[in-house]
Amino acid sequence: MWTGALCCALFAAAQCARGAPPVEVGEAIFRNGIAGDGRPVEATHQGQLAMKGAAAACMNCHRRSGLGSKEGNTTIPPIAAQYLFLPRAQSPDEVTVPFVDGMRTNREPYTEATLARAIREGLDSEGRPLDYLMPQFALNDADMQALVAYLKTLDQRRAPGVTDTVLHFATIITPDADPVRKQGMLDVLNHYFADKNAAPLGATPALRSSRKMMFMVNRRWELHVWELHGAPDTWEAQLKQQLAQQPVFAVLSGLGGRNWAPVHDFCEHEQVPCLFPNVEVPVEGEHDVYSMYFSRGVLLEAALIAKRLQEPAGSGQPVRRVVQVYRAGDSGEAAAQALAADLSRSRIEVRNRALPASAHVATALRGASHEDAIVLWLRPPDLATLGDAPPGSATVYVSGLMGGLDRAPMPARWRDSARLAYPIDLPQGRRVRLDYAFGWFAIRHIPVLDERVQADTYLACGLLAETLSHMVDAFVRDYLVERIDDMLEHRILTGYYPRLTLAPGQRFASKGGYIVRFAEPDRMRVVADSDWIVP
């Protein structure tokens, strides 16, 4: 049966002009639930109006790729045309399309007429009722023709970066990326790819069906390192040139400095999945599809601090003014702007103090009173220069990601007051989940240069390998994104993060963090000063 589900709206309605090409009209129906005349598509269920507009978009259930999904115990099969019109197969050997969970090979193929009947009346290609979850759509002949035309465009050509023997991937490094982190990340990527390619042919995980085994093809992984240079406004053009010279199936990991936006925009424009890059300031786009991040980085830290400032614990006096200190042009500038925007909805005054390259941190702290909250978006060298004098404020927040997390070099006299924004799991919580990764590094003699970057890179590689094993040979970029969305929450080894989840419309897998404090003034051990916070 061809099934569907009653899903919530995922995308805003988009107008589709009269006279637009049928495929464009079909795309608007499929993705946005907007008919050719610009009105919302309506669908009924058991004779009553069940949904309209974006809530009635086909991709809510059948996904952007058209290759289906799972909802609980319900498998939603593919509706890309090559699966709908696939001739009945007597045996798996006769199937000529890539394997997808839920594909139907033992029924009569649809024709355009029977497909229209299925969409309008809920009857399959043989006249039997479809699953009860499948609504019936009120589409006129022109809209039906447009929708079928669009279904015929889905999954019709080989994905870029995929050959019969090789899967091509890229990793992207911006010019302002830290060179030590860069070396650590590349060490992990190169060893992981070497291990993957050294596995004996046929050494794949146990598969649940002979059909899956028949379709499984082992391909060599090839990594292309795209190092950018020059000003950020030239990066997108550089990346387009790299992609034209060597198409890739996806971008894996990667390393950014202060600005990742041109890379993010490139991946969205070119519809190339960008899987979990190591960046402190990820890009937040309302309708982005192809970029996935482990967390919101310093932007999440800003949200954690904002929530703490707006909800003071116990009987403490509410904060009236916040003084933020950061280096101009560094990642802390974006975080400070995010925190100021969040606090603008309260009565808390915010004063930003941007330090030029030559200025000492102490100059930015002058005039701060005991009642002020100080927020430091600073790197370890700046934190180390704070000196032994106690802070002028009783409340000090520090960026954990920028400051070095547990190893933040806060002077002893500052540690009683300092609280770190901590968008990862606590040390005792993550230790077991990281043992495998660091054991893998040790066996391969990979020097640990940056623990979190290298662990996140290893985690990204493992997620890609696991997802590809379930995709079998259905190499479609949208499908890769969708499968990661579906599978991530079942991942047991999640590295630095207590839990990772994604869903359509979500691009940040870890949603929260802690505020932590130093357990003792002369040690580096941190303990929670809050519950797990999801802003």
Q: Encode pLDDT of 320-370 as tens digits.
A: 899 999 999 999 999 999 999 999 988 899 999 999 988 999 888 888 888
Phi, psi of 355 (to 5 degrees): -90, 125
The average confidence (pLDDT) of the chain is: 89
Count Cα atoms within 13 angstroms, Cβ side, for 170.
Answer: 24
Distances (CA, A) of 502 to 8, 369, 482: 16, 42, 9
210-252 pLDDT, tens per residue?
445 444 557 999 999 999 999 999 999 999 999 999 999 999 9
Q: What band does 14 get if pLDDT is binned at 50, 70 and 90?
A: very low
**Which pLDDT does position 216 carry in this prediction?**
52
Q: Would residue 213 be called left, alpha or beta, if left means φ above 0 and alpha means ψ between -120 and 50 degrees?
A: alpha
Q: Which domains does the chain have, with CATH numbers?
A: 22-151 (no CATH), 166-294+427-490 (3.40.50.2300), 298-422+514-528 (3.40.50.2300)
Q: What pTM did the predictor assign?
A: 0.90
Q: What band does 312 get if pLDDT is binned at 50, 70 and 90?
A: low
Above 90 in pLDDT, residue 431?
A: yes
d(CA 276, CA 298): 15
What does the angle CA 240 – CA 243 – CA 249 come to, to the nearest 5 degrees? 135
**Which pLDDT does position 121 carry in this prediction?**
94
**Which pLDDT does position 206 carry in this prediction?**
42
Above 90 in pLDDT, residue 459?
A: yes
d(CA 19, CA 271): 27
**Which pLDDT does position 5 carry in this prediction?**
37
CB within 8 Å of 146: residues ≥ 6 apart: 22, 23, 24, 25, 26, 29, 36
Above 50 in pLDDT, residue 10?
A: no
**Which pLDDT does position 93 carry in this prediction?**
67
Q: Is 422 helix (H, G, I), strand (E, B) or coil?
A: strand
Q: Which of 49, 47, 54 is nearest to 32 (CA)?
A: 54
120-166 pLDDT, tens per residue?
999 999 999 998 889 999 999 999 999 999 999 997 667 899 999 99
